[in-house]
Structures are given as C-alpha cells and as structure tokens.
Amino acid sequence: MPAVSIIMPVFNAATTLDECLRSIKVQTFTDFETIVINDGSSDHSTKIIQQYQQNDSRIKLLQPGRQGLVSALNTGILHSTSPLLARMDADDIMHPERLKLQVDYLSKNAETGLIASQAQLFPEIDIKQGYQEYMNWQNACLTHKDITTQIYIESPFAHPSVMFRKSVLDISGMYKEGNFPEDYDLWLRMLHAGIKMEKLDQYLLKWRDSTSRTSRVDSKYSRQAFDQLRAKYLAMENRIPRNRTLVYWGAGRKTRIRAQLLINQGFAVSGWIDVDPDKIGNVINGAPVHAPEWLQQKEKPYVLNYVNNYGAREEIEKCLREYGYRPEHDYLMIG
C-alpha cells in the first residue's frame, strides 16, 4: 500500500497534462500512486496518460465517462488505497519536494488533518490584480488560527495544494454536489468538524490561471454561490454568540445584500457600522447606522465585518483591535 494517493480528475487537458505528469514523476518522495480519473475527455488526454503508464506502474487510469468534477473526485477517493490523499489538477505543476514535505509534516503532527502549501499563480501574463491580491491573502493564511479566523473571507487553500488524511472524510464527509464550490464546502465542513488545518510556508504548487478555468466560468464559483455557502455555515457557527448585540460593519447596498443572507436565518441586526458620513444616522432594516467610534462602549457588541475590499478590511480589523475587540471572541471577518 503506497503512503499517498494523488487524486487527479482530467477533462480535455491535453495541452497541460504532460507538464503536470512530469512534475509528479520527478517527486523526491516516491511512495505514491496517481489515480487519474478521465472525466470523459474528447481530446488526446487519454493517450498522454497511457504513455506515462507504460513507464510508471504507479499511475492508475479510471475511465468512468463524463461525471463532473465532484463525482470524479469521489470516484478517485473510493479507488484510493493510501491513508493520505493529495489533490492535483491536470493543468498545474508540483514542486519536486511537495509530497515529501507534506508527508513529513503530517508524520510529525498527528493532530493535523489537512496540510496545504502556498501557491504561485502562472503564467504571469494572465494574472489579474484582483486574483493576485487574493493569492497574497491566501499565502499569508498559514496557521490553524489564521485559517479558522479568516475562513469566512475566502477559501484559504489552493485546492490542488492540499494533502489530507483519508480518515478525516469519515468525520466531514466526501465532496458534495451542489451549486457551490465543492472545495470551500469541504473546508467549511472540516472546520465545523473540528479538524485541524494548516499550511506550509513554502511555495509547492504552480497554480495555472486562465480566462477559461472552471472557477471563472462555472456558476458554482460565482460570487453569489460563495455568499450563500458562507451564510449557511455562519448560521451554524458557535463562535457567534446568541446572547450579545449583533452589529454588521458595512451599510453599503452590496454589503447589505450579502449580510441579508445571514439576517434571514435569524441573526437580526441591531446596528450597522460605516465610515460614510452620508450613511451615519440613517436607519436600515430598523437598525441605526453608527460611526466606528460607537463601538467603544463597555458592553461590546459582536461584530460581523462584511466589507471585503483589500486594504479596507485590514484597516477595519486594525480599528477593532485598537478598540479592544478580539478575533473570534468579539468579531469575525466575512468575505
């Protein structure tokens, strides 16, 4: 039985598959199997995989036909024989030390259920500023504490950078199908199951960006899908106290629309916080809009910050900390 099963769905990836498979082949850690799930490709992907198979018995090719990503992932997991599962996508590139470093970490840290790594976007010509800002945030989100306090901002991991113990799926469940990002849903379920998740402070994955990538064109990865998924798990969040005044930071229209998803689930707003002088003093949904200074009171309310502009979010957190608010205990940052 190999130590690691690499789970890699493939759909029409002939232009990138060779580079990906070569990066797997040259891993310094060699005790692994690569389970490739051909998800109904109509290009030359199958031929490329079979060519690698001829020289590498560790590659297992499954051809269940067109299933879709979630079913393909679960098919691969069900056929895996290892206690550790490493995700990989057919258009990305592993650092040669990726498997070794992640296996070493999990071997030395029995309480950790998932270990990811930092990731580098490529090719540089296709990288948009907004996505790079997201990656800067993601790559700085390293410790279990970082991840648990910031997981409602965005998905904290590049999916093909993660390795996790197969046993955690007995607690969190497998990947689920739905109109939501399947990886973020799994991380949130792991969070609520109490699974420790961490990230290596090393760039072990080159993560390909393109205008045609699934996360850009599939409605499952739309802003609305992320917002609805966050609200679902926030409504189950035991860090939000039910016996304290609840205020939402951000009284702008777009922010209120996102916040309304949680308000509709019984988390009534007692007040809004905003820096716009034109909004301060207004009443929205029956609750007044206050300036940030209003938070400096003896009986602290619990704050959910829905302002997610890069830069603004950091300033808001700085302000909250200066007022004596503690992450998780007194506030959560929401994307």
- Give the pLDDT confidence score for residue 184 in this predicted structure: 98
Domain boundary among 197, 229, 261: 229
- In tens, the pLDDT along 193-228 reads 999 999 999 999 999 987 666 766 778 999 999 999
Q: How far apart are CA 161 and CA 207, in angstroms?
A: 9
- Tell me whether residue 219 is in a domain: yes
Q: How many helices (H) and strands (E) does the chain have?
A: 12, 14
- Identify whether residues 167 and 290 lie together within a single domain: no
- Which residue bears the tokens 């790559």? 139
- Identify whether residues 206 and 254 lie together within a single domain: no
- In tens, the pLDDT along 70-118 reads 999 999 999 999 999 999 999 999 999 999 999 999 999 999 999 999 9
- Identify whether residues 192 and 259 lie together within a single domain: no
- Tell me whether residue 326 is in a domain: yes
- Identify whether residues 281 and 299 lie together within a single domain: yes
Residues spanned by the domain of 287:
239-333
240 neighbors 332 (Cβ within 8 angstroms):
yes
- In tens, the pLDDT along 175-202 reads 999 999 999 999 999 999 999 999 999 9
- Identify whether residues 212 and 271 lie together within a single domain: no
Residues in a beta bridge with 48: none
The DSSP secondary structure of 109-164, one letter per residue, reads -TTEEEEEEEEEEE-GGG--HHHHHHHHHHHH--SHHHHHHHTTTS--S-GGG-EE
- Tell me whether residue 207 is in a domain: yes
pTM over 0.85: yes
Q: Residue 308: CA atoms inside 13 Å, Cβ hemisphere, count?
A: 21
- Identify whether residues 42 and 80 lie together within a single domain: yes
- Identify whether residues 222 and 247 lie together within a single domain: no
- Identify whether residues 216 and 72 lie together within a single domain: yes
Domain boundary among 174, 199, 229: 229
Res. 312 pLDDT band, cuts 50 70 90: very high
Q: How far apart are CA 49 and CA 59, in angstroms?
A: 8
Q: How many folded domains does the chain comprise?
A: 2
Q: Where would I find the H helices in 178-275? A: 182-192, 214-217, 223-234, 253-263
- Give the pLDDT confidence score for residue 226 in this predicted structure: 96
Pick from 30, 48, 196: which is nearest to 98 by CA?
A: 30
